[in-house]
């Protein structure tokens, strides 16, 4: 396995940061309870890292200091969790006004996958018709 260069580490941090911004701006849904993927390495702390980074907005350096590991290891664990969460449908893009036909609650945005090319290969789960139908009934 090749060692990750400093520029690759910086790019990974930017992509994770773009996803965090999308989640915090309600452009990507995030589960209310962070799922624990038992098949992942360090599953007992990985969900905590995810919550601290994506929900509470902690920087990677602070998380690394708290858990006494390198920032690269934190980024790796976050990327593994994101990959698994996207595969299982826990992260879903929230449709814009044009895509859903409902009025948008916020300004239109660019797709966050354009900002995160390395993660774009894993498809997001589409919002179900049941969710859209329920939203339409409440209007």
DSSP assignments along 116-132, one per residue: -TTTTTSPPPPPPHHHH
Tally of residues, the chain: 139
> How confident is the model over 29-66, as pLDDT tens digits?
888 778 778 777 777 888 899 999 999 999 999 999 99
What's the confidence (pLDDT) of residue 65?
Answer: 96
- For residues 119 and 21, the model is more confident at 21
- Ranges of each domain in the chain: 6-137
Residue 68: pLDDT band (50, 70, 90) is very high
Q: Write the pLDDT tens digit of every residue in 93-125.
A: 888 766 556 555 555 555 555 555 555 554 444
CA distance readout (Å), 65 to 20, 50, 69, 135? 20, 15, 7, 43
Nearest by Cα to 41 from 83, 91, 87:
83
User: Residue 93 and residue 101: Cα distance in Å, rounded?
Assistant: 15
Instruction: Check residue 98 and give its pLDDT.
Output: 61
């Amino acid at each position: 396995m090749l060692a990750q260069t400093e520029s690759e580490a910086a790019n990974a941090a930017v992509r994770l940061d773009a996803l965090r911004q999308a989640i915090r701006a309600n452009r990507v849904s995030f589960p209310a309870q962070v799922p624990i993927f038992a098949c992942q390495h360090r599953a007992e702390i990985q969900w905590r890292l995810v919550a601290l980074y994506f929900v509470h907005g902690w920087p990677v350096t602070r998380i690394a200091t708290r858990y006494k590991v390198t920032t690269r290891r934190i980024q790796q664990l976050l990327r593994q969790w994101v990959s698994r969460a996207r595969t299982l449908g826990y992260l879903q893009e929230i449709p814009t006004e044009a895509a859903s036909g409902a009025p948008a609650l916020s300004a239109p945005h660019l797709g966050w996958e354009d900002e995160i090319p390395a993660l774009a290969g894993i498809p997001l789960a589409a919002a179900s018709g049941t969710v859209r139908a329920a939203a339409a009934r409440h209007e």
